[in-house]
A and B are shown apart, each in its own frame.
Chain A
C-alpha cells in the first residue's frame, strides 16, 4: 500500500558525457526500483490518471500488478489499451497527462507513471520470445495501411489480431515513421526499442513494404478499386515542414528540423564512419522553436559538436516541449534565448549563413488558444552570430494523399477530415494520427490507429 517514500530517482547518463554521444539519456528503472516506485501509488478509487491518459490505460491496475511482482500481468494490463508502451513510456508528455493529474502531485511528486510504463514495456519486449504466438483465425478480408508510424503500427496490430490480412506501405526505406526519422536515438533507441516493437507487429502476420509512396507509386483509389483491399487506413503523419518566410531563409546553412533530424536519425549521419549522408553543423547552431522537435534538433546539434542555442518567441513557461526534454537540454549546456524572435537571416557574400537578426518580445494578453501572445519590443534588434539555422516551427500533413484520392476531404490546415473513429469522406478510407490532427503526440496517434482498426472492423462487417 501507499507509503511516504519519495519518488524513486531514475538513473541517467552524466550530462557532460551524454552531450557528446547518441546513447540513451535515461537508463530507466531496474526491477527493484520499479517495484519500489510502484508502492507509492495510492490506487485511487477514481483514478484521475486514467482519465488524463489519451488512451485511458488502466494505470493503477498495472501498477498494482507491479507491487505484487507480477510484471507479466502488468504488461497484459497495459496492452489492453496501448500497443507501444516502451515508446510511450519514453516520449509521452506525462507531466501534462497521467502524472500531471496524479493526486500525489498536489503536495509532492506524482508517481513516475511514465518510467513504470517504460519498465513494463521493455520487460515485455525482452520477454517477447516467451509469449505463445496467438492463433489467429483469418477472416479473408484485406486492409491496406498507409504509413508505418505509431498510428499505422497500432492499427495494423489490432486488425491483425482480429483476423485481417494487413499490408503496411511505407514511403521511406525504414519502418517506424517519425519514431525513426524524427525522434533521436538518445531519446528513443531504434534497434533496442522501435525495431523490436515492429518485430512484434510482424509476428502477428502483418506484412510491411518499404519504398512505396502512396499517392505516387500507387494511389488509394487503386488500392481499393484494383488491388482488392476492403478498406484503407491513412496514418501518413504530418511531414511537411514550415518555414518563417523571413529574408535569408534559403541561404546555405538554413534547414528545417525535419531535414536535419532525417539526415542524422534516418540516414545515420551521426555515424560518419558508416553513413554516406553528409551533415553540416558548423561552429554554432541556432534552432528556432520551442517544441519537442526543437529540443531534439538542438540537442542533436550539440552532440555533433556545435555550440547550440534555442530561440523562442514566447517565455519558458510557454515552451510546448516536454519538461523533461527542456531540463535535459539545459543540463547538456544548451543556451535558451526566450522571448526572442528572428527577423532576418544574415549571409556571407557567397551565400552562407553568418548570423541571425532577432528582436526581443514581451508577452501580451492571452490569445484564443489561451497562450499569451508575444509582441515585439521596439528598438530591441540584435544579432546572434551562427553558421547554421534550423527551423523547428511545426509541420503539416503532406498534401500528396489528399490530392490523389478522389472524394477525400481536407480542412483548411491541410489535415484529412475524419470522425472521432477515423471515418473520412471517402467510403472505405479511414485516417488517424497527425494526418488528421496535425503534428501531435505518439500516444494520440497510437490511440487513433486503434480506433481506426475498430471502425474498419465494423465497416467491413456491416458490408457483409
Chain B
C-alpha cells in the first residue's frame, strides 16, 4: 500500500497527489511513469511522474478524472492509500544521458498541453539544475485549466496559450510555437511536446517543415507496463514498438498518431459504461 501524503486540486477535475514511495522516488528520472492501481479491483493505469523528492521519499502524480479508474484515484484523500504504485517505468528522457558539455549547448522548447504540463515539469526542472534554461509553452482551453504555472516559472521561461485568450496568447499552442520560431526567430535544437495525442500530432506537423527534432511522450493504453502485454503497441517509423519499454518518449515525426489515437479508444465503450455505473453508484451512496 502506498500512502497519499498530500493532495491538492489544481483545476476542475485535476488533482495533484504526493505518494509515499521511497524506492520509486530514489530511482525516478525525467520522462518516466508509474503504474497505479487504486484498490484491489482496480485497473492498472499508467500515470506520468510530475515530480519526485528523493529525501522525503515521495513521488508526485497529477491525475485528471476522465474515466472510472482516474475518478477512483482522485476520490482518495490524504491518509488513504493506493493499492499499487510500481515504477519508475519506461526509459528516461534522452537528454538525461547526454554529456553535460553538449547538453548545455542545446536550446530546448517544451510544449505542454493540459494535464501534460505535469510531466513536462520534472524535465524542465532537471535541465535547470544542470544549468540549461528552456522555453516552455503551456497551453489549455481556458485560464482556469492552466496548471503548474508558478512551479514552471521557477525553472523555465514560461509562455502561455489559451484557446479562448483568457490568459496569454489567444489560440492553439501551434500558433504560439510559430510566433516564437517564425515571428521572433528563436532557434531550438529540440522540441519536447507532452499533451493530448491530437495536440502532439499537430505540434509535430508544425515543427516538421523546420526539421526541428520533436520528442513526444505517448500515453498509450497499458496493462502491466513492463513489456509483457503489448497493449501499448505504437508504429514509429513503420516499426511496431512498445510504449512502456521502448518509450514512452519517441521521435514525434515518426509516430503514426492516427493509429495511436485509434488504439487509445479500444475500450472506449466499456469505459463509458463502467464510468456511468460508477457515478451512479457514487450518487446512490452519496460518496
A interface, CB within 8 angstroms of B: 171-173, 181, 210-213, 216-218, 239-241, 243, 245, 249-250, 252-253, 255-256, 258-259, 262-263, 267-268, 274-280, 350-351, 398-400
Chain A contacts for B84, CB-based, 8 A: 173, 210-211
A400 CA to B233 CA in the complex, in Å?
17
Q: In the bound complex, do residue A252 and residue B228 qualify as a contact, i.e. CB atoms below 8 Å apart?
A: no
Q: Which residues of B are found within 8 Å of A275, using beta-carbon distances?
A: 41, 43
Other A-B pairs beyond A172-B224, A216-B89, 16, CB < 8 Å:
A171-B86, A171-B224, A173-B83, A211-B84, A212-B86, A213-B87, A213-B226, A216-B87, A217-B86, A239-B224, A243-B233, A250-B235, A256-B229, A258-B228, A258-B229, A263-B223
Residues of B close to A262: CB separation below 8 A:
223-224, 228-229
CA–CA, A250 to B240, complex, Å? 8
Chain A residues near B228: list those with CB within 8 A.
181, 239-241, 258-259, 262, 398
- Do B229 and A278 touch across chains, with their CB atoms under 8 A apart? no
**Chain B residue with Cβ nearest A273:** B41
Residue of B nearest to A259 (CB): B229
Binding site for A on B (CB under 8 A): 23-24, 27, 37, 41-44, 68-69, 72, 83-89, 223-224, 226-231, 233, 235, 240, 245, 259, 262-263, 265-267, 270-271, 274
Chain B residues with Cβ under 8 A from A255's Cβ? 229-231
List the A side residues contacting B44 at CB < 8 Å: 173, 267, 277
- Taking a contact as CB atoms under 8 Å apart, the answer to whether B263 and A250 are in contact is yes
On whether A276 and B259 interact (CB within 8 A), knowing A217-B88, A240-B228, the answer reads: no
Instruction: Name the A residues within 8 Å of B86 (CB-CB).
Output: 171-173, 211-213, 217
Say whether B27 contacts A280, CB under 8 Å.
no
Q: Are B23 and A212 in contact (CB under 8 A)?
A: yes
Q: Please, how many angstroms separate the alpha-carbon atoms of A235 and B266 in the complex?
A: 33
Report A-chain residues with C-beta under 8 Å of the C-beta of B267.
278, 280
Contact between chains at B85 and A398 (CB < 8 Å)? no
**Cβ of A267 to closest chain B Cβ, rounded Å:** 7
Find chain A residues with CB under 8 A from B24 CB. Answer: 217
B152 to chain A, nearest CB (A): 27
Chain B positions within 8 Å of A252 at CB level: 262-263, 265-266
Measured CA separation A263–B27 after assembly (Å): 28
Listed A/B pairs (17) with beta-carbon separation below 8 Å: A172-B226, A181-B228, A210-B84, A212-B23, A212-B86, A213-B86, A213-B89, A213-B226, A216-B226, A250-B263, A267-B44, A267-B223, A276-B43, A276-B274, A277-B43, A278-B267, A399-B227
User: Whole-angstrom distance between the alpha carbons of A212 and B68 in the complex?
Assistant: 26
Query: Which of A211, A253, A267, A350 has the most chain B CB atoms inside 10 A of its CB?
Result: A211
Question: Which residue of chain A is the closest to B234 with respect to CB atoms?
Answer: A250
Cβ contact of B245, chosen from A181, A276, A400, cutoff 8 A: A400
- List residues of chain A with CB within 8 A of the CB of B69: 276
CA distance A425 to B231 in the complex (A): 33
Q: Contact check, B227 vs A240: say whether CB atoms are below 8 A apart.
A: yes
Chain A residue, CB-CB nearest to B262: A351
Complex alpha-carbon distance, A280 and B269, angstroms: 10
Q: Is the interface of A mostly helix, strand, loop or mixed?
A: loop
B43 touches A400 (CB 8 A): no
- Using Cβ atoms and an 8 Å threshold, which residues of chain B touch A267? 43-44, 223
Q: How far is the CA of A453 from the CA of B69 in the complex (A)?
A: 41
Residues on B with beta carbons closer than 8 Å to the beta carbon of A351: 259, 262
- Complex-state Cα separation, A439 to B206, whole angstroms: 45
Q: Are B42 and A276 in contact (CB under 8 A)?
A: yes
User: Chain B residue with minimal CB distance to A218?
Assistant: B23
Complex contact B266–A280 (CB within 8 A): yes
A214 to chain B, nearest CB (A): 10
| Cα distance, A210 to B24, chains bound together (Å) | 13
By beta carbon, the residue of chain A nearest B222 is A259
Contacts of A268 in B (CB 8 A): 41
In the complex, A255 Cα to B267 Cα: how many Å? Answer: 13
Check A211–B85 contact: CB distance below 8 A: yes
Which are the 3 A-B pairs with shortest beta-carbon distances?
A259-B229, A278-B270, A211-B86
A-side contacts of B85, CB under 8 Å: 211
A243 with B230: CB separation less than 8 A: yes
Which of B83, B233, B240, B271 neighbours the largest number of chain A CB atoms within 10 Å of its CB? B233
Question: Is there contact, CB below 8 Å, between A216 and B68?
Answer: no
**Hey, which chain B residues are within 8 Å of A280, CB to CB?**
266-267, 270
Given A252-B263, A278-B271, A400-B245, does the pair A217, B227 have CB atoms closer than 8 Å?
Answer: no
**Residue from A240, A241, A278 whose CB has the most chain B CB atoms within 10 Å:** A278
- Residues of B within 8 Å of A277, CB to CB, are 43-44, 223
Which residues of A sit under 8 angstroms from B262, Cβ to Cβ? 252, 350-351
- What CA separation (Å) do A211 and B72 show in the bound complex? 20
Name which residue of chain A comes closest to B24, CB basis. Answer: A217
Residues of B within 8 A of A399 (CB): 227, 245
Chain A, residue nearest B235 (CB): A250
A172 to B89, alpha carbons, bound, how many Å? 12
The minimal Cβ–Cβ distance linking A279 to chain B, given in whole angstroms, is 8
B260 to chain A, nearest CB (A): 9
Residues of chain A with a CB closer than 8 A to B230's CB: 241, 243, 255-256, 258-259
- What is the bound-complex CA distance between A213 and B225, given in angstroms? 10
